[in-house]
Structure 1
Amino acid sequence: MLHKAIDPCFELLLDLDSPVRQLGTNYQFVEGPIWHPVENHLLFSDIPGDTRRRWDGSGVEDVSHATHMGNGMTYDGDLNLLVCEHTTSSVVSIDRDGRRSPLATHFEGRELNSPNDIVVRSDGSIYFTDPLYGRMPGYGVERPAELGFQGVYRISPSGDLQLVVERAMFTAPNGLCFSADESQLYIDDTDQANIRVFDVERDGALANARIFATDIFEKNEQGVRDDDLGVPDGIKCDQGGNLWVTAPGGVWVFDRDGKHIGKVRVPEKVANLHWGGPDWRTLFLTATTSLYAIDTKTGPHEEPFMRCGTE
């Protein structure tokens, strides 16, 4: 078997012999995959290469060579592209004509660290993580941080920026996604190797933080945690409420109760993932130097931008 079922229910989500297909390679470090529901293509980021690329079934082509070392991406309900930029420490919106508008740059008068991953709720509010990776050599511009913590933020529909977690809670907040009904928000911490889940209140605030999954790492022969094998980074929820997170060896899958049910094996260390394709059953994987895809038996829970292709 190519992949591993820890619980038999995993085979309802993925054929254990389903091949992982390499769609493109020889990149520097790829991230941020996002599928366009109308134009039917995948965008993804090459952070050190400062390049945004597109795959549409016929191959990969460059679409931008000046991305401010963009990382995580998504679309809003109007299909404006939202990008987390490392070198500007900003979340920006790029409209269909290419006009770029900053949405978040500072908190309490200090520059954000480096927005990393991003998701949009049905009410139009935007949530993003803000670790320090974009202030490290190779993945941004090396410079001291102005904030003394690594937070998670919400941009309200009116444009207000709000810190939605305790300042000391995370040491490296990274991937985030909503549950299928948007009543919960999952956020992983790469440094702590865990996933937290929060209740989302009516006003968009987060409450009742608790650990959903932990020890998302493997050890080397010396018994020491080896992040070169993979870390919790990108995270997505499928239509059944299962959580798919990048991890050692590829992608680990947890059911809605936090039980580890299976592993998707990928040849390279995976940084992020996103479903797409005509039926939303192709899981795209950005993995270090390559873009991969694998067919699944499930698809994503419906995010706001996904409805644009059906209206």
Structure 2
Amino acid sequence: MHLRSLSSLAAILVLASCSSLRSPIVPGAVPKDHGPIGAGEGPAWKDGSLYFTDGKHINRMGPDGKTSVFRHNASNGLLFDREGRLVACESGLRRVTRTEKDGRITVLADRFEGKRFNTPNDLCMDSKGRIYFTDPRYGSREGMEIMASSSACSPTGTVHGKTPVENVYRIDGPNRVTLVLSASKYSALERPNGILITPDDRFLYIADNNNNTHGGSRKLLRYELDKNGDVSGKGKVIFDWKDGRGPDGMKMDDAGRIYVAAGANKATEFETTRFKAGCYILSPSGRLIDFIPTAPDECCNCAFGGKDGKTLFITSGGHLWSVPLK
């Protein structure tokens, strides 16, 4: 490589590094509240419309701002694949599905080694089109089928003498599921919720949110991935919400900044209001760059959208928020 090319490459890397530490929010911008439209999870943008879930259905907000039901009986994390098909974590039905362009539903995964998943929560996709998803269980532990060995260490208690385990999986093809991370095997992980993979497939970020347990993890963890897409080594803590409401859904922009929905405005038995509800914008290494406050409570997820892709949509307490980015 010529000296001039090396200099240009170095300049690009320096600029990229600097931009990842700058706030991406348009100066003077104020988050817009679109109202209590049942925006709980999701969200995902496609062709001028925002898709989100209300705990029971997938809803679509069109360019006119009106909301309608897109699919019944589906909830939680959403993404569109390269062919424009909607992939969803269906927590209630304990499966991950894809809505085909003709409306048919393809079940991509509903079991691991013959046992039903806990409640698939959130998902992301790598450069090869493989889907990674988290499988925690909040609330009652009854009905959990995936158990750890008796010698495994788990912070989530036992069910009928067995230890339930909450894992991270990868879908390599329809009903071809690979275990990526296990809370019983990796001591850094307790209850995986949000998930994000970097564009170069080098790092996997997990929102470890054991938020209904005193002293439970409320951390953003980063794992290295090998060339096969498997975790190599222990997780590194990137940010810690301590005794507040931990991280939920998240996204990454072109500069490598991470947008994490987290925090609460009302304390509970297990959570303080040390970290307010909103979107925490972090550098790739976990430095807090900026914060977008939301209301009424429990900021859950976020997505990029808008005509130029420079609007951040945030779901919080059933409300939908948006803020313009640079």
Confirm or deny a common fold (TM above 0.5).
yes
In 1: Cα distance, 2:78 partner to 2:19 partner: 33
Secondary structure of the residue aligned to 1:98 is coil
Is 2:95–2:110's contact at 8 Å kept on the other side of the alignment? Answer: yes
Q: Which residue of 2 aligns with 1:165?
A: 181
Residue identity in the other structure for 2:52: F
The Cα shift of 1:278 comes to 1.5
TM-score by structure 2 length? Answer: 0.77
In 2: Cα distance, 1:21 partner to 1:158 partner: 39
In 2: Cα distance, 1:258 partner to 1:64 partner: 36
In 2: Cα distance, 1:187 partner to 1:9 partner: 20
In 2: Cα distance, 1:181 partner to 1:65 partner: 32
Match for residue 204 of structure 2 among 185, 189, 192: 185
In 2: Cα distance, 1:281 partner to 1:182 partner: 23
Is 1:35–1:42's contact at 8 Å kept on the other side of the alignment? Answer: yes
Q: Which residue of 1 aligns with 2:51?
A: 43
Q: Which residue of 2 aligns with 1:74?
A: 79
2:30 maps to 1:15: no
2:233 maps to 1:208: yes
The Cα shift of 1:76 comes to 1.5
Question: Kindly tell me: are residues 236 and 209 of structure 1, through their superposed partners in 2, closer, same or farther at Cα, counting changes over 3 Å?
Answer: farther
In 2: Cα distance, 1:83 partner to 1:198 partner: 24
Residue identity in the other structure for 2:181: V
Is 2:20–2:256's contact at 8 Å kept on the other side of the alignment? Answer: no
In 1: Cα distance, 2:256 partner to 2:37 partner: 34
Is 1:124–1:157's contact at 8 Å kept on the other side of the alignment? Answer: no
The Cα shift of 1:180 comes to 3.7
The Cα shift of 1:125 comes to 0.7
Deviation readout 1:236-261 (Å, 9 max, x if unpaired):
11111111111222111211222222
Q: Which residue of 2 aligns with 1:279?
A: 308
Q: Which residue of 1 aligns with 2:194?
A: 175
Q: Which residue of 2 aligns with 1:241?
A: 256
The Cα shift of 1:178 comes to 1.6
Match for residue 259 of structure 1 among 287, 298, 320: 287
Question: Kindly tell me: are residues 9 and 90 of structure 1, through their superposed partners in 2, closer, same or farther at Cα, counting changes over 3 Å?
Answer: closer
Residue identity in the other structure for 2:31: V
Secondary structure of the residue aligned to 2:233 is strand
Show structure 1 runs of 5+ residues with no match: 1-6, 218-224, 298-311
Q: Which residue of 2 aligns with 1:108?
A: 113
In 2: Cα distance, 1:31 partner to 1:187 partner: 17
The Cα shift of 1:10 comes to 5.8
In 2: Cα distance, 1:183 partner to 1:9 partner: 17
Is 2:165–2:182's contact at 8 Å kept on the other side of the alignment? Answer: no
The Cα shift of 1:276 comes to 0.6
Match for residue 58 of structure 1 among 57, 64, 74: 64
Is 1:31–1:286's contact at 8 Å kept on the other side of the alignment? Answer: yes
Aligned length: 269
Question: Kindly tell me: are residues 125 and 91 of structure 1, through their superposed partners in 2, closer, same or farther at Cα, counting changes over 3 Å?
Answer: same
The Cα shift of 1:285 comes to 0.5
Residue identity in the other structure for 2:203: Q
Show structure 2 runs of 5+ residues with no match: 1-17, 147-163, 211-216, 264-275
Q: Which has the higher contact order (CA 8 A, sep 6+)?
A: 1
In 1: Cα distance, 2:143 partner to 2:279 partner: 33
The Cα shift of 1:234 comes to 0.7
Question: Kindly tell me: are residues 18 and 152 of structure 1, through their superposed partners in 2, closer, same or farther at Cα, counting changes over 3 Å?
Answer: same
Secondary structure of the residue aligned to 1:271 is strand
Deviation readout 1:95-136 (Å, 9 max, x if unpaired):
111101111111122110010001111211110000013xx4
Could you say what the CA RMSD is over the residues aligned between the two structures, in angstroms? 2.2
Question: Kindly tell me: are residues 109 and 259 of structure 1, through their superposed partners in 2, closer, same or farther at Cα, counting changes over 3 Å?
Answer: same
In 2: Cα distance, 1:54 partner to 1:259 partner: 34
User: Identity, % of aligned pairs?
Assistant: 29
